[in-house]
Amino acid sequence: MRPNLGRVGAGALIAIAALALAGAKGDSSTSTFHAQIDSTPANSSVTLSYTRPPQPASADQARPVVPLGRGAIQVPILMYHYIRINPDPSDALGADLSVTPDSFQQEMDWLQANGYHPVDFDDLRAYFLGVSPLPARPVILTFDDGYRDLYTTAFPILRAHNFKAVAYLVSGFLGFSNNVTREQVQEMAQNGIQIGAHTLSHIDLTKASNDELTRQLVDSKADLETLIGHPVVDFCYPAGRFDGRVVAAVKAAGYQTATTTQPGTQHSVADRYAWTRVRIRGDEGLDKLAADLSPQEPTVMMRFAPSPQPIPVIPRLPLVYPLELPRLVLQEAAEQRPLP
Ligand SMILES: [Zn+2]
């Protein structure tokens, strides 16, 4: 089923995506979201439309947020690999990639105590599309490669903090003895862990043939989507290796963002296929983490009804990045007629 549109613009792309998702999942909150996006007047703020239980007006809370409209914002994307005690002291690389469970617990405690809010790439999409502000001090916690300790060690600590995170999975490695299983991925995906792709077999994509490049990108995406039941549109270059050909292939495969291993904390829509990250090493302390997360994006106070959810419910992927800037997206959306 494909809606018959007289004109396909950025707003229509949002609407199509929302409609497709609503059709696929039968999710009434998502279809409401579509309707609101489509009919919102230009320059007004758009609210997410999932239904919360009625709250007394006096229960409204003001909290700091990163307001809509900034083209580039400080959202450190933290990069983790293993959460473990490195089993082989002679393995320098393994040691560098390993954060001990105690250190990880302390880092999550520190983030919580210092007002950081882990968000995911759906939240960032919603921000850049002008749909929803971000909470103060937003960070994204990413875990590369899908090692087994992501599920056994990191996941319980994340859940205890009500923290979202992103797992970049190598789909061909799922179920290996040192990697998460397909069932574990499904459980995590339903409990605050966004799933991103990290190829089929973690090869250097800059050295792959065109056919192999496409296979690594398309097949891993399809495999993960089948597993978790919704689109996977966020990608991570294995070992941070990419070039113009790889970026073009990542776009063509349907991914909307890609992260690197290059350092940095500021991100925009324009550079979304080369988002930088903050590498968290095994032997660094909280002072280093604090320094890496500076400066913080300035915030403003906004009022919200309290959410009954421990993790805010953001509709899953009704959004696509358009070519236009967010402000133009909202105007375009407002001009769209309701879909038939
Ligand atoms: Zn990797």
In tens, the pLDDT along 164-177 reads 999 999 999 999 99
* Nearest C-alpha neighbor of 131 from the set 70, 74, 72, 68: 68
Measured CA to CA, the distance from residue 153 to residue 105 in angstroms comes to 10
Across the chain, mean pLDDT equals 80
Distance 12 CA to ligand 1 centre (A): 35
Distance 204 CA to ligand 1 centre (A): 10
- Name the pLDDT band for 304 (thresholds 50, 70, 90): confident
Distance 279 CA to ligand 1 centre (A): 12
332 pLDDT higher than 90: no
Give the pLDDT confidence score for residue 131 in this predicted structure: 86
Is residue 244 packed enough to be buried (19+ CB in 10 Å), middle (13-18) or exposed (0-12)? exposed
CA angle 37, 232, 26 (to 5 degrees): 50
58 pLDDT higher than 80: no
* Averaged pLDDT for residues 318-323: 57
Are 136 and 123 in contact by the 8 Å Cβ rule? The answer is no
Distance 151 CA to ligand 1 centre (A): 16
Strand order in the sheet with 134-135: 134-135, 61-66, 300-304
Give the pLDDT confidence score for residue 36 in this predicted structure: 31
Measured CA to CA, the distance from residue 330 to residue 46 in angstroms comes to 9
Distance 80 CA to ligand 1 centre (A): 10
Domain ranges of the chain: 1-50+316-340, 65-300
* Nearest C-alpha neighbor of 232 from the set 120, 117, 76, 323: 120
Give the pLDDT confidence score for residue 59 in this predicted structure: 52
Is residue 103 packed enough to be buried (19+ CB in 10 Å), middle (13-18) or exposed (0-12)? buried
Query: What topology does CATH give the domain 65-300?
Result: TIM Barrel (3.20.20)
Task: Give SS3 for 201.
Answer: coil
Give the pLDDT confidence score for residue 16 in this predicted structure: 34
In tens, the pLDDT along 260-281 reads 999 999 999 999 999 999 999 9
Measured CA to CA, the distance from residue 99 to residue 97 in angstroms comes to 7
Of residues 81 and 130, more confidently modeled: 81
Distance 169 CA to ligand 1 centre (A): 8
Cα atoms found within 13 Å of the Cα of residue 104, Cβ hemisphere only: 27
Kindly state the helix (H) or strand (E) to which residue 193 belongs, with its residue range: strand 193-197
Measured CA to CA, the distance from residue 132 to residue 154 in angstroms comes to 28
Measured CA to CA, the distance from residue 104 to residue 85 in angstroms comes to 11
Measured CA to CA, the distance from residue 98 to residue 115 in angstroms comes to 25
Please give the DSSP secondary-structure letter assigned to residue 166.
E
* Nearest C-alpha neighbor of 10 from the set 323, 306, 249: 323
Task: Give SS3 for 23.
Answer: helix
- Name the pLDDT band for 282 (thresholds 50, 70, 90): confident
55 pLDDT higher than 80: no
Q: Mark the residues whose beta carbon lies below 5 A from ion ligand 1.
A: 144-145, 238
* Nearest C-alpha neighbor of 334 from the set 98, 2, 40: 40
Measured CA to CA, the distance from residue 95 to residue 97 in angstroms comes to 5
In tens, the pLDDT along 173-202 reads 999 999 999 999 999 999 999 999 999 999
* Averaged pLDDT for residues 206-223: 98
Lowest pLDDT segment from 39-43, 102-106, 234-238, 252-256: 39-43
Give the pLDDT confidence score for residue 319 in this predicted structure: 58
Give the pLDDT confidence score for residue 309 in this predicted structure: 52
Give the pLDDT confidence score for residue 243 in this predicted structure: 97
Distance 145 CA to ligand 1 centre (A): 5
242 pLDDT higher than 90: yes
Distance 161 CA to ligand 1 centre (A): 25
Give the pLDDT confidence score for residue 56 in this predicted structure: 46
- Report CA Rg, the chain: 20
Kindly state the helix (H) or strand (E) to which residue 28 belongs, with its residue range: helix 28-39
